[in-house]
Amino acid sequence: MHLKKIMKSNRIIFFLALVLIFSSGGTARAEDNGGYAGAFLQIPVGARPSAMGGAYTSISNDGAGPLFNPAGISSIRQKLFSTSYRSMSIDRTLGYVTLLFPGKHNATIGVNWLHAGSGSVEARNTDGDPLGQDITFNNNAIAFVFAKRFEDYLSIGARLAYLQASLEDMSTALVSFDFGAILYVNSLFDRERRDLVPVQDIKIGLVIKNIAANYRWDGSEISGSTSGVIQEDVVPVEFRLGLSGRFLDKKLLLSTDFSKNSKQSATFHAGAEFTHLEKFFLRAGLDRGRPTAGFGYLFNFGLKTMAIDYAFSSDRVGEGSEHIFSFDILF
């Protein structure tokens, strides 16, 4: 009887946390939507995380995982190739390619490439006259990731990234670090109690991102410039805390995220994923108050397992709606 009361209380607390985060989804102020270095790193990548509103810190178990919480990739048991493309307004693009290799003792290593492009803008002088050339702004991040499940209840991961940015004739590069952990709450129970807990696969994720990320621009690199102005842009360090769990015999996955960086106010994310026949997935979420949705399909192709995912993110602050596509292969 006492155990039943504890489980009922845990379920109530979990649902209250989800309601709180869903209701707080629109609290981020308008002035927080960009304006800082590395803004592309704050955009949810991958169709599955995007469809779930970016509430992915405690999940992160696919090709998008290294960009949310590197600790999550320790649960991958097969080699994985993953790629994603996000179509955005104003000719912007965002996409990644990930390769992950599981090893012994619940450890996984891999590499990840993230690209963000801003399209091109016609260059003009101070009088507004065209100069006959276009200006482009591109960002690339190439990262090595590692994760290991040290105990049944704990995974720890790290991501070491080399970031490069180019703007007209100028370019800059830096090295940054992400550190993450995931606590598998159900593993803290013995096997008999674990099966009685009404919420399965409860996970708590924590990550610290963009450590030591500092862009340094040198104005003397511009063609014809005599300026030696040095501009330093610090990417805000970001903290994320996530909670997720499965309901209805593990068919329904609910997740929430709280994120805060050193320059902006806190934001909240929430998501849900419903699984049908273990191959069809319906998803929905809230990304800082903006509704998101999507679906996925998992199928076998020879000895390989493939997944195709799509997400739709609605308009926010006049930026236009966005479409995200992902493709994963397990082999």
| 268-304 pLDDT, tens digit each | 999 999 999 999 999 999 998 889 999 999 999 888 9
SS3 235: coil
Q: How far apart are CA 98 and CA 145, in angstroms?
A: 10
Q: Domain holding 104: CATH number?
A: 2.40.160.40
Buried b (16+ CB within 10 A) or exposed e, 41-51: bbbbbbbbbbb
Contact criterion met (CB below 8 Å) for 105 and 74: no
Q: Residue 278: exposed, middle, or buried by beta-carbon count in 10 A (0-12, 13-18, 19+)?
A: exposed
* Nearest alpha-carbon partner for 41 in 133, 149, 139: 139
Distance CA 217, CA 233 (A): 8
The more confident residue out of 34 and 283 is 283
Contacts of residue 104, defined as CB under 8 A and 6 or more positions apart, other chains included, come to: none
Q: How does the average pLDDT of the chain come out, rounded?
A: 83
The reported pLDDT for the residue numbered 303 is 86
Mean pLDDT across 93-103: 95
Confidence of residue 26 (pLDDT cuts 50, 70, 90): very low
Q: Rounded CA gap, 49 and 7, in Å?
A: 29
Q: What's the rounded mean pLDDT across residues 136-149?
A: 92
Mean pLDDT of 87-105: 87
97 vs 95: CA distance, rounded Å: 7
Q: pLDDT tens digits for 150-172?
A: 999 999 999 999 998 887 677 88
Model pTM above 0.85 = no
Residues 331 and 156: their CA atoms lie apart, in Å, by 24
The count of domains in the chain is 1
Residue 144 has pLDDT above 80, yes or no: yes
Determine contact, residues 269/260, Cβ cutoff 8 Å: no
Q: Measuring CA to CA, which residue among 50, 10, 97 is closest to residue 271? A: 50
Higher pLDDT, 10 or 173: 173
pLDDT tens for each residue of 184-241: 999 998 877 777 788 999 999 999 999 988 877 766 655 555 556 677 778 889 999 9
pLDDT of residue 87: 78
Structural domain of residue 237, as residue ranges? 2-330
